[in-house]
């Protein structure tokens, strides 16, 4: 009696996951608004109605993708950042990781970067905690660096975290949309780190 329940729970989790993954693929391919719930259902190989057993509505599906992916990103980031204690190395690691993740999960990245922003409703109303949590990894590193004297103290971490995220994310976005890749992610990471650390002036 316990086992079947467990089995069901697992099956249930599997189906939830299956739908999430289907939604990521579908939304990345066609855009959130141009995709139908039926498209997602077909991709996930479930009935339309089944989606509503796992998600409140279509918007909830998008939000769930976001939370799922931010959890994934945060988890991977925290794991990766343990290896080093030097703020500079940590920041390099973070930038490199973000770009790697975009490369590893291109559909996911596209949904996050493009489709999510589309929903003004989402951007304005949804308490975007997970994203701030992700961003705060950056401001944490900056704060540590400023304390230990590695980074300049006159730079405002609130602004800086956005500047760094924006720079890295724009590169990631371009890379996602580019058909013929003109540079590797490793090259891009080097360039971005170079610029952020030392600036562009001679």
Partner DNA sequence: TATGAATGAGTGTTCATTCAT
Partner DNA sequence: AATGAATGAACACTCATTCAT
Angular region, 36: left φ>0, alpha ψ -120 to 50, beta rest = beta
Site string for a copy of itself, 128-167 (x = CB under 8 A): --------------x--x---xxxx-xxx-xxx-xxxxxx
Q: How far is the CB of 67 from DNA (least distance, A)?
A: 17
132 binds, among DNA, a copy of itself, none (CB under 5 to 8 A by kind): none
Residues that bind DNA (CB under 7 A): 4, 8, 11-12, 15, 34-38, 46-53, 57-59
Angular region, 31: left φ>0, alpha ψ -120 to 50, beta rest = left
Distance CA 197, CA 66 (A): 30
Name which of 22, 16, 25 is nearest 55 in CA terms: 16
With CB under 8 A as the contact rule, the residue among 48, 174, 181, 186 that binds a copy of itself is 174
169 binds, among a copy of itself, DNA, none (CB under 5 to 8 A by kind): a copy of itself
Other CB atoms within 10 A of residue 8 CB: 10
> Residue-wise over 152-164: b if at least 16 C-beta within 10 A, else e?
eeeeebeebbeeb
Q: Which is nearer to DNA, 17 or 84 (CB)?
A: 17
Contact call for residue 85 and a copy of itself (CB under 8 A): no
Q: How far is the CB of 70 from a copy of itself (least distance, A)?
A: 17
Query: If 0-12 CB within 10 Å is exposed, 13-18 middle and 19+ buried, where does residue 111 land?
Result: buried
Q: Which is nearer to a copy of itself, 30 or 84 (CB)?
A: 30
Q: Would you mind telling me the total number of residues written for the chain in this entry? A: 202
Terminal-residue alpha carbon distance, the chain: 71
- Stretch of 12-20, 25-33, 62-70, 77-85 lying at the interface with a copy of itself (CB under 8 A): 25-33
| Chain contacts with a copy of itself (rule: CB under 8 A) | 28-34, 88, 110, 113-115, 117-121, 123-124, 142, 145, 149-152, 154-156, 158-160, 162-171, 173-174, 177, 182-183, 187-188, 191-192, 194-202
């Amino acid at each position: 009696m316990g086992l079947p329940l467990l089995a069901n729970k697992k099956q249930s989790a599997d189906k939830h996951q299956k739908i999430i993954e289907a939604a990521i693929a579908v939304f990345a391919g066609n855009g959130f608004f141009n995709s139908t719930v039926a498209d997602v259902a077909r991709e996930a190989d479930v009935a339309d109605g089944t989606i509503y057993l796992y998600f409140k509505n279509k918007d909830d599906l998008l939000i769930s993708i976001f939370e799922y992916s931010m959890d994934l990103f945060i988890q991977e980031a925290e794991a990766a950042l343990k290896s080093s204690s030097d703020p500079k190395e940590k920041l390099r690691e973070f930038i490199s990781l973000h770009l790697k993740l975009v490369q590893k999960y291109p559909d996911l990245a596209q949904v996050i970067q493009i489709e999510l922003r589309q929903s003004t409703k989402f951007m304005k109303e949804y308490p975007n905690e997970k994203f701030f949590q992700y961003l705060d990894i950056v401001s944490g590193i900056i704060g540590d660096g400023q304390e230990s004297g590695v980074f300049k103290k006159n730079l405002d971490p609130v602004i800086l975290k956005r500047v760094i995220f924006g720079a890295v994310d724009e590169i990631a976005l371009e890379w996602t949309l580019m058909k013929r890749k003109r540079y590797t992610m490793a090259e891009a990471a080097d360039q971005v780190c170079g610029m952020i650390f030392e600036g562009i002036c001679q």
